[in-house]
Structure 1
Amino acid sequence: MPRAERWLIFPTRSEQRDRTRISLVDMSKSIVQIRNEAAAALSPERQQQWEQFLTPAPVAEQAAGLFTPAVEPVRVLDLGSGTGILAALVAAHASAGSSVTAIERDVDLAKASEASIRQVCDDVEVIGKSVFDVLLDDRFDRVILNPPYKKISPVTIPTAGGGVKITNLYTAFLVIAVQALAEVGECVAIIPRSWMNGEYFKDFRKWLLDECSLDVLAVYGSRQDHFKDMDVLQEIMLLKVSKRKQSGSVAVYDGIRPEIPLDRQPHELIPLEALTMGRDRILRVERQDPRLSRFKTLSEQGMWVSTGKLVWFRNRDLLSDTEKPGSHPLYWSDNQRGMTTVHPVKCDREQWVTDKADSRNMVLPSGSYCLVNRFSAKEQRHRIYASYLRSDTEYVADNKLNYVHQGTSRRTVPLNDKVAWGLTLWLTSSIVDEWYRQVSGSTQVNATDLRQLPCPSPGQLAELSDLLPVNDAVDQQSIDHTLEGMFSWTKAS
């Protein structure tokens, strides 16, 4: 069957030129079918290997719709084009004479890309290579991408402004995408939200915000709604940047739904400086609650967040089911029971380490601490799961726990006991939970982010602990109500 008969099931390019605007509803279902057939054929092993998620039509429509309409022809680039659905949708709205360059290393997907894009554009080049093997000039007016999300060993990508440290494939793709933009060109990406916070993405964040105007942040409200057939585990967002000086404000959409056009969903225009925090330029997706503006950060209040030093699979020889002479208690997330920490507990984890731990720089001083689980998902009741620990002996913390103390990165100093309990109450409050949800889209609760968290002074935390003494049965309403009274809060506007 000729290609035109096989794929061209909707108006030809010449017929499209007679239209002032192409409705995506009128677009041939064949492009969607190409995508769905490719998604069904993608093996779970291949998908897991690259964390490659082919773009569903509703998400593709929203992404393509973020570009500014242009009267003149545009040069479109799709990095890692998959089935070509993104480039096809961008080209469908472009003026006559526009061109598309698509890069896709997979032979079958490259063929699917060409089949999709040629339905809406005459000038098409599909390059069957890795994105990293193609030299691109900065000539593209529109760059769109849904890159693989896989973590990689840190590498440095050269740019005109110096090297950028990269720890994930999707940020590597974005560096290439931005460098391929012509002046005032625009880039739209479908990516995880994890780049907006955390130590790993610090260099990339600083480079991107210095290089581009951040125009749109649109975070999906559910991890299940957008890529239903792809089993995506991360929070996904749409990002739009442009090659120019920073615009006056950023359009921020929080909790978007894929089945509703973006122009029908609520959003706020917010100055970039109101969304960034600290030297690492951590990004929020809302203005900070004004009730928190009175507080310094946790680190400014003289507290520090460190990560437990025991990596169990590297220290199997230390683990013990029973207490022995010279051994130390070992705390895992399993030992967090409500807002307190219990030891020992019945679980699948050994509860002690032998005295060999003393020579491995992992034993922490006795005293009072606040422990925070390093992993959580947005569906959990609390993104920050904090628990109070008072240990009368030296102990060891698993690497999947953060612990808050009043020392430094090199020296651990326990907290005052009242401060440790007051901090646990603070971190369990609803206002802090909302703050963290606006800061982090990652399943990892980063020590870097916790250090930036607005926090009362140690004296105020001690006062809070007197109002709600240590009791694992204290409920959420009591915590929130006590804080409202203590700080004379009214309902946030």
Structure 2
Amino acid sequence: MEEVKLLQQLETADGVRREVAARTEQKHKAEFGQFMTPSSVARFMASLFPPSALRTCRLLDAGAGVGALSCAFLDRWVTCGFGFESVEATAYEIDEKLRGHLSQHLAAYSRVTPRIITGDYIELATADGLDDRGYTHAILNPPYKKINSRSDHRLALRTVGIETVNLYSAFVALAVGEAALGGQIVAIIPRSFCNGPYYRPFREFILERAAIRHMHLFETRNKAFRDDEVLQENIIIRLERGGQQGTVTITTSTDDSFSDLITHEHPFDRIVFPDDAERFIHVPTTPEKSAIELSPAVRFSLADIGVKVSTGPVVDFRLKAHLRDMPEPGAVPLIYPGHLSMAGTLWPVPGLRKPNAIMRNDETEKWLYPNGFYCVVRRFSSKEEKRRVVASIVDPAALEDHSVLGFENHLNLFHENKRGLPEALARGLAVFLNTNAVDEHFRRFNGHTQVNATDLKLMKYPSRDALIELGKWAKQKGNLTQEQIDAKLETLSK
């Protein structure tokens, strides 16, 4: 009877969560980076912990909210999901509006010793250095909020060797640091930590101290926190403190009902590539190798073919005073995604809602490139778009007689030491990148919607000679169909 009563705690907590979320102003949620966990997600997260025969569990729930995650974990325990005799539950919650609910929900468990801490988790966890606090389990839905580089939080984290840009990654790093050897950490966090330079120190911190055991990906971005209208792509991850890295379980589901759960096992070298200095974390969604991985002709790095890729250097809001809606004397072309298609470049575009030009002067000169042929890939797409990788050619003939041009920050450009490419090479790169095989390969390993220059740098390519031949073929053929592009890839020589 007690178990039945206790099993109602998660549902009680979920009802409180919905009620509190509905009446909490968006400003308050933003202040605390607060997005509370639905019961379906909490229950799934609790299910990811491996069985344990420990006599005493020391549970950490940092940023506990109303206690949904702790309740899901404790519900699993009281239904014989773990062999603990008792649980010491430490829950941090800074929002006084939630702590009363949290306390009430944890107090319902008779063999649990709750310890509710009202202070700031980052301040308290870093106060005396980051030591093993003996936590055997941690279950987290940490706050999502950027950390200013000069903030007290950032400085406190640096004292314990954590360099990161968001509260969520700070909480996970601290939880790993405080966990006992063999401690299990399950967290639901934005997927943004998997790639990009800003989260590289966090990835290194985690990978040095823990093994990745499981990652779950939602195929629909807005379903994990639908009540809060969160569009951030989220991932659930299980880490083992001090564990020896082995294969990684990857699961996917369309949404938080988990009704179509698919499970695969992957070797770790498909999760973090051995030669990747950036330590990107990939989430492959199928065990089969892609056509790109299997092709003997696609095995060269960009360095091998003498090409570099960079993010467009013109950040428009920083150079706003120099932007012009349409060309005028002293202005040069400024290329946005809206100027490009797989067919080529169209410039200027009246009514684009973006500037078509940027003034050339002492302040802008360092951001400009010589006019020439470039292969360009846009950095952003929506997850629902058919293609993730879309490559275009910047043709100098479309840019009138301008000697230089600007590339806006939402583009990646392939170049030779900040100069244009030979026309055939630029066209060959564009054809290769526009194959369905490349797009499929990219989606398998990079589920995020952002295509970073580093992603493109890590890819393998055909040889320079093969790309030049591909470019000559493309120019001779003119307008190409997707079928022609895909068929041509199969004919490439090594």
Partner of 1:35: 17
Contact 2:134 2:180 in 1 (8 A): yes
- Which deviations, in whole Å up to 9, do the C-alpha atoms of 1:336-366 show, x marking residues without a partner? 2344221111212222222326754112011
CA–CA distance in structure 2, aligned partners of residues 487 and 218 of structure 1: 38
Structure 2 counterpart SS, 1:200: helix
CA distance in 1, matches of 2:444, 2:122: 33
Identity of matched residues, % = 30
Q: Classify 1:152/1:487 alpha carbon distance in 2 versus 1 (closer, same or farther; 3 Å).
A: farther
User: Quick one: which of 276, 280, 283 aligns to 1:282?
Assistant: 280
Distance (Å, rounded) in 2 between the aligned partners of 1:423 and 1:127: 56
Alignment of 1:202-217 (within 5 A): 202-217=200-215
1:348 aligns with 2:349: no
Of 41, 46, 55, the match for 1:64: 46
Within 5 Å, give how 1:148-167 maps onto structure 2.
148-154=143-149, 155=154, 163-167=161-165
1:147 positional shift: 1.0
* 8 A Cα contact 1:76 1:91, kept in partner: no
CA–CA distance in structure 2, aligned partners of residues 110 and 470 of structure 1 = 69
| Secondary structure, counterpart of 1:253 in structure 2 | strand
TM alignment of 1:84-483, pairs within 5 A: 84-94=67-77, 95-121=84-110, 122-135=112-125, 137-154=132-149, 155=154, 163-255=161-253, 257-260=255-258, 265-277=261-273, 278-286=276-284, 288-289=289-290, 291-292=292-293, 294=296, 295-346=299-350, 347-356=352-361, 360-392=365-397, 393-407=403-417, 412-469=418-475, 474-483=480-489
Any residues of structure 2 matched to 1:45-84 within 5 Å, and which? 45-71=27-53, 72-84=55-67
Contact 1:88 1:120 in 2 (8 A): no
**Higher mean C-alpha displacement, 142-151 vs 459-468:** 459-468
In structure 1, what is the equivalent of residue 128 of structure 2? none
Name the CA shift for 1:46/1:357 in 2 (closer, same or farther; >3 Å): farther
Name the SS for the 1:396 alignment partner. Answer: strand
Q: 1:102 to 1:192 in 2, by over 3 A?
A: same
After TM superposition, give the deviation of residue 429 of structure 1 in Å: 1.9
User: How many aligned positions are there?
Assistant: 463
- Once structures 1 and 2 are overlaid, which stretch shifts more, 422-431 or 437-446? 437-446
For 2:178 and 2:482, how far apart are their aligned partners in 1?
A: 50
Secondary structure at the aligned position of 1:125 is classed as: strand
Counterpart position of 2:81 = none
* Amino acid of the structure 2 residue aligned with 1:56: P
**In structure 2, do the counterparts of structure 1 residues 80 and 470 end up closer, same or farther at CA, with 3 Å as the change threshold?**
farther
TM-superposed deviation, 1:441: 4.2
Cα offsets for 1:4-37 (capped at 9, x unmatched): xxxxxxx436x88xxxxx9x6x666312211211
Distance in 1 between residues matched to 2:49 and 2:176, nearest whole Å: 15
- Change beyond 3 A, Cα 1:452–1:387: same
Q: Which amino acid aligns with 1:332?
A: Y
CA distance in 1, matches of 2:453, 2:476: 25
CA root-mean-square deviation? 2.6
| TM-score using structure 1 length | 0.87
SS of the aligned residue for 1:297 comes to: coil
Contact (CA 8 Å) 1:157, 1:163: kept in 2 or not? no
- Kindly indicate whether the alpha-carbon contact (under 8 Å) linking 1:341 and 1:387 is maintained by their aligned counterparts in 2: yes
Q: Partners in 2 of 1:459 and 1:48 — Cα distance?
A: 52
Mean alpha-carbon deviation: is it higher for 224-233 or for 188-197?
Answer: 224-233
1:471 shift after superposition: 7.9
Match of 1:491 in 2: none
1:92–1:120: 8 Å Cα contact kept in structure 2? Answer: no
**1:52: how far off?**
2.3
Quick one: structure 1 residues 437 and 152, their matched pair in 2 at CA, closer, same or farther if it must change by over 3 Å?
A: farther
TM-fit CA distance, 1:323: 3.1
CA contact (8 A) 1:79 1:173 kept: yes
TM-score between the two structures when normalised by the length of structure 2: 0.86
Given that residues 122 and 157 in structure 2 are in contact (C-alpha distance below 8 angstroms), is that contact kept between their aligned partners in structure 1? no
SS at match of 2:115: strand
Deviation string, structure 1 residues 235-260 (Cα, Å, up to 9, x no partner): 11110001123242111124454213
Distance 1:170 1:125 in 2: 22
Output the CA distance in 1 between the equivalents of 2:318 and 2:76.
55
Q: In structure 2, how many angstroms separate the alpha carbons of the residues matched to 1:404 and 1:289?
A: 24
Q: Is the 8 A contact 1:178 1:187 kept in 2?
A: yes
Residue-by-residue CA offset, 1:60-82 (whole Å, 9 max, x unaligned): 11111111122323111101001
| Superposed displacement of residue 382, structure 1 | 1.6
Separation (CA, whole Å) in 2 of partners of 1:467 and 1:428: 15
Does the 8 Å contact 1:74/1:141 carry over to 2?
yes
Counterpart CA distance in 2 for 1:285 and 1:359 is 39
- Which segments of 5 or more consecutive residues in structure 2 lack a partner in the other structure? 78-83, 126-130, 398-402
Cα distance, 1:472 vs structure 2: 8.3
- What code does the residue aligned with 1:460 have? A
Cα distance in 2 between the residues matched to 1:312 and 1:247:
43
Shift of 1:487: 6.2
